[in-house]
Structures are given as structure tokens and as C-alpha cells.
Amino acid sequence: MARNLISVIDDDESVRRTTALLIESFGLRAVAFESAEGFLKSGQLHDTACLIVDVQMPGMNGLQLQSHLAAEGCGIPIIFITAYDDRESRGRAMRAGAVAFLSKPFGDEQLLQTIRSALRGEFGEAKNLISIIDDDEAVRRTTIRLIESFGFRAAAFESAETFLSSDHLNDASCLIVDVRMPGMNGLQLQSQLAATGTRIPIIFITAYDDKASRQRAMQAGAAAFLGKPFTDEELLRWIRSALRQEESGTGTT
């Protein structure tokens, strides 16, 4: 991996220093710039395998740099990092093909996995739609932000019934489903999908982890059964596992 050059662009000197050191600890080469303009004027543009870019910077900001590179036909994968995560900026970045949109502070392992995905050309992950079904609005909001930060598209529903009647039923690559919900619960949704021959990998999440529900879910082919709270890295690992399961057409027992 040492031949890969990762360029870090951030106006905060401490962020540049710590991020470059972290990247080098992964066995990658890193170079840091305090501005988008400095990066564009450097001799590193064509050597860079992946960009880590702050969103808000003096002069040309991260989104403007993304647009500039696209206009020049430069397809360097971009990982955005920001202390000011707003949905509009995240949506604009991801629609334009960003690998991920990470909120500071982010975990070392999360950054490493995102960089590796970018270097392997897996940023086509953005085509994958992850549907979240949970009656708790706060859980829906935080989970959708997290999933989009990984580089996936996300849609959220407050009930199983709403999801089933939506246009996303046939587009979803993976479901993240609460076990206990008013009306149709998560296990009933799993049974309903199986009865109609709909094979979407399901990751169950629950604040009430009981052995009977876990066993029933896993025996019916669930990809995972996660007790709340779970870590960002744990969810990302299971999403990627579920997507591999969907691509191969195999089930999980």
C-alpha cells in the first residue's frame, strides 16, 4: 500500500498533522496542504490516489474543489471531513461522487476502511441504497447520517408498513430494521418479505436483545442482530458483509 499517496487538505494545522501521521501509521504515504489552491498548484495532483478534504476552508472550499476537479476530468476519490456536518453539504458531496462524508472526530478504523475502499475503487458503493426502518425519529436521523458518512445512499421509514408501500422496496440493497415497532414489527417484516420472495439482507437493531428474537431472526436468514448501542465500525462491517451476501445471492444462517 505504500505506493499510494493520500493528500490531506485542511486549513487546521493540527488536523493536517494528526491526519497525516495517522495515514502513515496505516502504511500509506501522506502529504498535507493548508488550502485547495496549494494542492492544485503542487506537483502532487497526478500522484494522488485519494483526497481527504475539509469542507469549510478559506478561499476555495472542499465542495468547490470537488467541482473543479470534476470539470477538469480528474477522478480522484474524495473523502470529506468536517466539524460542521449539514445535510445539504453532505447530499451535494455524495451526489457528486464523494467516497464518504465523515464528521470530526471520526475513528481511526473508520478512516482506514474508507481509504481502503477508495483505493480499491469501491466508491461505487454510493449506488447501494440502505433503508432504515425504526419508529424512533432520533434513531432514524442519526443512523441515516452515519450511513451516508460511509458513502452509501440512505432512506428512512417510521414503520414497516410505510417501507412496504414505498418505491424503495425494490431498490434497497440492505435493510436496517428495529425489532420492536408498533404495528408490524421487525420479525414480522422479515417473514412478510420471505413470503413474497423478496431477498433483501436484514440487519436487526434493538434495545431489547432477547435470545428468542435473536434466534428467530438469525434462523430466518438475518445478516446480523445488533444490540443498541453499537459502534460505527461494527455497523459498517455488517453492512458491507450484507452487501457481499446480496451480491453472491447467499443467505446467512
Residue by residue, pLDDT tens for the chain (253 residues) are 446 899 999 999 999 999 999 999 988 999 999 999 999 999 888 899 999 999 999 999 999 999 999 998 888 999 999 998 787 888 888 878 888 888 888 888 888 888 887 887 655 455 678 999 999 999 998 898 888 777 788 889 999 999 999 878 878 899 999 999 999 999 999 999 999 888 899 999 999 888 999 999 999 999 999 998 888 889 988 998 888 876 655 544 3
- The pLDDT of residue 251 is 46
- The pLDDT of residue 112 is 86
Instruction: Spell out the alpha helix ranges (H) of the chain.
Output: 13-25, 36-41, 62-71, 87-95, 108-119, 137-149, 160-164, 186-195, 211-219, 232-248
| Spatial separation of the C-alpha atoms in residues 74 and 239, rounded to whole Å | 29
Put residue 209 in one of left, alpha, beta given phi > 0 → left and psi -120 to 50 → alpha.
beta
| Beta bridge mates, 227 | 206
- The pLDDT of residue 170 is 77
- The pLDDT of residue 1 is 44
**Three-class DSSP category at 146:** helix
N residues, the chain: 253
Instruction: Spell out the alpha helix ranges (H) of 10-129.
Output: 13-25, 36-41, 62-71, 87-95, 108-119
Angle between helices 108-119 and 13-25 (to 10 degrees): 70
Dihedral angle over CA of 225, 231, 235, 238, nearest 10: -70
* Max CA separation in the chain (angstroms): 61
- The pLDDT of residue 152 is 82
Q: Are 58 and 81 in contact (CB under 8 A)?
A: no
